Chains A and B, each alone.
Chain A
Amino acid sequence: MAPQRRAADVKAAQARNFDALNAVVGTTGFDPHLRFLNYGYAPLPGEEPVGPKLGPLFPNPDAARMLFQLVGDLDLTDRVVADVGCGRGGNLWLIGRHHQPRATIGLDVAATSVQLVAERVPGAAAILGDAERLPFADASIDVLVSVETSCAYPDLDAFLCEAARVLTPGGWLLHSDLLPAEVGRAAVEALGTEAFDVVTHRDITANVLAARSASAARQGSVFDATTAAGADGGALVAEYLGTERSGFGRSLADGSRRYRLSRLRRTDRPAPARPILDDALRARAAEGAAETAELLAPSQPPDPDERAAR
C-alpha cells in the first residue's frame, strides 16, 4: 500500500477511535466532567506541584497538572492559544478558567470532539482539521499546545514544521507525549537547532506512571457500570485509562515509548525546511502512529488478563 494511503487510513482510524470514545463516555453520567484525554502528571515525592491550586474534588486533577507543567509561569494574557489535537477541550477550558487569553482555538481530527469543544468550552473556536496541515496563517499563533496527540500523527515531521511555521517569533510550543523513545528525544533536538530554543526538555515517564497508578483503577470503576467488559468500549477504555496491562502501559514500562515534556520558544529564524527528522525516525514515528491507532481501535477484543483484573 502506498505510504500516503496508509497515512490517510491511520488518520481516519484515529478520528473513528475518538468518536467511539466520546460515544462510550456519553453513556455515563461523567460525560460533562470528563474533559481531559491525557494520562496525567503526578508530582513525585519532594516535588512541588506547579500551577493554580485545584479544589479537593476537581475531576482528573493529574490531567490538569500536565497542562500546568507545560504552561509553567508563562503569562497567557492577551495571547492567541491553539490546542492542536484538543480532544474534549479540557486544556482550553482550563486555560480559560485560569488565564485571560485573547483567543483560544481547538483543532481536532474527530468531529464529535470538535462539536464538544464548540458546545462546552466558552469562547473557544473549534475546528475540524489535520495537525499536519494546520489551517493557520504563518506567525499567527502565540502558544501552540500539543498534549498526548502527536503520537497519533503518521507524519510527525510535518506537524513539527507546521508548528514552527504558525508560531509567532517568541511564541511557544508546549508539547508532551509518549512517542517511541528514540523519536521523542530526536524531535525536540531537531527543533532546537534553529527554529526554537529548548527551554524545558524532560523525561516525565515516572510522573505519568505515578499518575496512572494512582488513578487508573478508580477511573475504571466509572465505566464498569456502563460498559460491560466484552462490549466494544472495553479495550478502548483500558487504553484510555493506561492501566499497567494496556498496550500504552506496557510500552512505557518496557521503555519502547517514553513520555517527554518540552517547552520550546520560537526564535525569529525561518521555519525549518522539511524533513527535520531522518528517514529512519520518520518511519519509526509513522509506525508508532499506526500502533496508536490499533491500540485504540474499539473493535479490538479486550485483553483477557485485563478483563480478569478489572
Chain B
Amino acid sequence: MDATVFEWVQGRLASVLELDPSEITPTSHLADDLDADSIDLIETINAAETQFGTKIEEQELYDLETAGQLAELIERSMPR
C-alpha cells in the first residue's frame, strides 16, 4: 500500500469523522470501529477523485470494509 495515499485517507477520515488520525489504521473497520457510514465514505471518495484524479468503480466501493481497503482502492484507481 502506498504510504502517501494511506496518510491522505487517514487525514481525510479523521477530519470527516472527527477522530485523531492515530486512531485510524489500515485494519480499522470503517463501520464497526470508526462509525463511518456510506455518506462519509462517498464524501471521502469524491475528495480523492479531486485530489488524485481517480475514477472509482461503484461496485467495489460498496463492498469496502477497512480503511486500508479504501486506500488500496484509491491507489488502484489512479490514472496511469
Contacts and interface: CB of A to CB of B under 8 A. Distances in A.
A59 interface: yes
Nearest to B43: A29
A49 interface: no
A218 interface: yes
**B contact residues, range:** 10 to 19
A304 interface: no
Contacts of B5: none
A224 B64 CA distance: 26
Contacts of A57: 30-31, 36-38, 41, 61-62, 64
B39 A56 contact: no
Which interface residue of B36, B41, B42, B65 has the most chain A CB atoms within 10 A?
A: B42
Given A59-B38, A218-B37, A29 B46 contact: yes
Contact of B32 (A33, A54, A56, A60): A56
Contact of B62 (A29, A58, A222): A58
B33 to A, nearest CB: 11
A222 B38 CA distance: 11
B64 A218 contact: no
A59 B46 contact: no
B63 interface: yes
Contacts of A54: 62
Given A30-B42, A32-B58, A33-B58, A55 B65 contact: yes
A59 B42 contact: yes
A56 B36 CA distance: 9
Interface in B28-54: 29-32, 36-39, 41-43, 46
**A contact residues, range:** 10 to 19
Contact of B38 (A29, A33, A97): A33
A222 B65 contact: no
Contact of A55 (B32, B43, B46, B62): B62
B38 A58 contact: yes
A4 interface: no
Contact of A56 (B46, B58, B65): B65
Contact of A59 (B29, B36, B62): B62
Interface of B: 29-32, 36-39, 41-43, 46, 58-59, 61-65
Interface of A: 29-30, 32-33, 54-61, 97, 218-219, 221-222
14 contacts: A29-B46, A30-B42, A33-B38, A33-B58, A56-B30, A57-B37, A58-B38, A59-B38, A59-B62, A60-B38, A218-B37, A218-B39, A219-B39, A222-B39
